[in-house]
Structure 1
């Protein structure tokens, strides 16, 4: 089912991101890009969403996204992710620690949703959505990942295509 492009362009980024992340191989490739290359998973999914709308990211898009990322990534999402990961070891020792970890995880997810909503606002100046463009997907991923992540870029491109 996921091998063919969507019949009509996705209107909203958040539902697209959830669907895309659930595709086989996408989560693994995104997390590899994040852990090995410092990639921003919401930005990668945003680039894929742009391509699904047949939009190739411009320098202006990347600059606007960088501004949004600066407001969300380091000050909000990174500390929540760090807390969630730290709580994982503590959760094994006591149920109340697991409850706290789950609460932090839910807060991290909500912060990512709000971050993605801010990224979606950048799309307000894009042309009207058109059917998905495979070349735009490749180009967008290549612009959002460093050159040394070429293998991850190809894996993610294949998983999202």
Structure 2
């Protein structure tokens, strides 16, 4: 694959909006956490991500990382699974149990201030766990992704992080990709 975007200092012609050569040339990618928060806050994004998490069993943090890679003209490498293993173990051991506890407490906490406070603390711990997941994913960027033309990057993203999905889930991924492309990258 040929180099593009970040490393070459030029932007491939892809019809992207709100991107400038200056946002990519000779700079490191924008930090993942604030980028992910900005994307998550856009209309419809949180709903789409949570639907993909709950209905297609995709990991929101991996999706955000993959979209962030695409926004920086990078694609995941073919041997991604072994590099993601420690991140996935973290998620399995910490994030998923916290999410399960938070969700299990929802009905019981309604109208019970002490339980609602406990649920709020669990929710904060879950968010911290997701932030740690994104930190781990961002740390993998140089070893687990390569500069790549946008159309090739999306193919790799789809193949390596998403796999086969139902058409309505594929449509959500496409909407998320478009939404992330339309974001103005945070300044570095």
TM over 0.5: yes
Once the two structures are TM-superposed, the CA of residue 160 in structure 1 deviates from its matched residue by 2.4
**Among candidates 47, 50, 53, match of residue 69 of structure 2:** 50
What is the aligned partner in structure 2 of residue 146 from structure 1? 163
Q: Does 1:32 align with 2:51?
A: yes
Q: Distance in 2 between matches of 1:56 and 1:122?
A: 12
SS at match of 2:75: coil
Count how many residue pairs are aligned between Structure 1 and Structure 2. 156
Q: Which runs of 5+ in 1 are unaligned?
A: none
Task: Tell me which moved more, 141-150 or 69-78.
Answer: 141-150
Higher share in helix: 1
Call closer, same or farther: CA 1:6–1:129 in 2, change over 3 Å.
farther
Q: Does 1:107 align with 2:120?
A: no
TM-score, normalised by the number of residues in structure 1: 0.83
Call closer, same or farther: CA 1:137–1:4 in 2, change over 3 Å.
farther
Call closer, same or farther: CA 1:127–1:116 in 2, change over 3 Å.
closer
Q: Distance in 2 between matches of 1:12 and 1:122?
A: 13
**Among candidates 71, 79, 94, match of residue 60 of structure 1:** 79
The structure number with the bigger radius of gyration is: 2
RMSD, matched Cα: 2.4
**Among candidates 118, 130, 136, match of residue 118 of structure 1:** 136
Once the two structures are TM-superposed, the CA of residue 59 in structure 1 deviates from its matched residue by 1.4
What is the aligned partner in structure 2 of residue 13 from structure 1? 32
